[in-house]
Amino acid sequence: MEKSTAQTGVTQASFWTVGRGAFALALLAAALFPVISGSTFHFHIAIMICLAIIATMGLGVIARVGQLSLCHGAFVGVGAYTSMLMVMRLELPFMAGVVAAVVVTSLVAALIGGPLLRLRGVYFVLITFALNELFRLVMLEFPGLSGGSSGIANIPAASFGSLVLDEKATFYPLALISAVLVVALVALVDRSMIGRRFSAVEENITLAESTGIATARTQNLAFIIGSGIAGFAGALMAHYIGFLSPETFHFELSVSYIIMLVVGGRLALWGPVVGALILTPLPEFLRGAMEFQHVFYGVALIVILSFLPNGLVSLPDRLARLGGRK
């Protein structure tokens, strides 16, 4: 009996090392794929995946204190518009635009976070839903800032001094490095004291409060970090796509981030990466059949929620446990 448990322990451990190795290799292969194929279309998809990873990572940080934000797309929008205005109106360099986008979104989150985060659960979801609509309506109302419903085109490409990243192949390294940096940042947060406070608040806010954690401040911090990351994604997006319209930041954008987060794994570090990797390429490959793809999204969301509430990331663990039980 003892021997058999020891054996399954060994197989499980090796399963894990093999699994992790395979996951790392798959990520590397995915990252290098466009470089090897050299196709601009593949570069485009890879860039969109990186942008989705960054934004969804931000949503994941907010989810770490147990809150689901339906205005994440609006924060991506705030970042995109801030950077666009900095670069196009004030003629600042691209980097300044990105920094401004992160600072402004974090400030907005800090300002509204206090009263907003007193609400929890479905009430928080409802107010963030209303905020996302409000953002879109206000942007449509002020065409001087946003270009109104016709949007703003010809946003300058990302550049560092004389190095202009105006092609997909040259923008991709920037997008990839940014995604890696954001994942690393969130990993750091997870390992720090702050990360432990986040999960304490997520698990039981009353208990967290009674053990001396400043729950309001902890939630605010997660909201500020998550929204700042969204702003970063927005700035990159603005200078990559070169076109912004209030309709880009429709409620559906927020929903797509939620789908990626839930499908990948709500609280797992690699959840957003897995979710974005699987769900972003679909619209590009299924161009002609948007509605089939949306049906697939809906089914995936419900199936994952019912059978794998911790997302696809928890699948190997589930399989290992099933195997161990036999």
Partner 1 sequence: MSFLIIQSLVNGVILGLLYLLMAIGFTLVFGIMRVVNFAHGEFYMLGAFAAYFAFAVAGLPYPVAVAGAFGGAIVLGAIIERVVFRPFRGDELSGMIASIGLALILQNLALIAFGPDPLSMPSLVSGAYNWGGIILPKSRVVVILGSMVILAIFYYFLMHTRTGRALRALVQDREIAAAYGVRVELMYPLGLALGAALAAMAGAFMAPLFGVSPFVGGTPLLKAFIVVILGGLGSIPGAVIASMLLGLIESTTSTFFGASTADIVVFALVIAVLLVRPSGLLGHKEA
In sequence order, what E strands does the chain have?
Answer: 158-160, 163-165
User: Of 133 and 209, which CB lies nearer to partner 1 in the complex structure?
Assistant: 133
Closest approach of Cβ 151 to partner 1, in Å? 17
User: Of 22 and 137, which CB lies nearer to partner 1 in the complex structure?
Assistant: 137
Closest approach of Cβ 104 to partner 1, in Å? 20
User: Of 21 and 298, which CB lies nearer to partner 1 in the complex structure?
Assistant: 298
User: Of 259 and 274, which CB lies nearer to partner 1 in the complex structure?
Assistant: 259
Closest approach of Cβ 166 to partner 1, in Å? 35
Closest approach of Cβ 12 to partner 1, in Å? 28
Own/partner pairs, 25-31, CB within 8 angstroms, 24+ separation: 27/273, 30/277, 31/176
End-to-end Cα, the chain, rounded Å: 14
Computed on alpha carbons and rounded to an integer, the radius of gyration of the chain in Å comes to 21
CA 312 – CA 304 distance, rounded (Å):
7
Give contact residues for partner 1 (rule: CB under 8 A). Answer: 68, 115-116, 118-123, 125-127, 129-131, 133-134, 137-138, 140-141, 255, 258-259, 262, 290-292, 294-295, 297-302, 305-306, 309
Closest approach of Cβ 214 to partner 1, in Å? 20
User: Of 188 and 295, which CB lies nearer to partner 1 in the complex structure?
Assistant: 295
Closest approach of Cβ 116 to partner 1, in Å? 8
CA 297 – CA 73 distance, rounded (Å):
18
In sequence order, the β-bridge partners of residue 163 are: 160
Neighbouring residues of 242: CB distance < 8 A, sequence distance ≥ 6: 153, 154, 155, 156, 157
CA 214 – CA 205 distance, rounded (Å):
10
Calculate the alpha carbon distances from 176 to 46, 180, 181, 227, 234 in Å.
Answer: 8, 6, 9, 20, 15
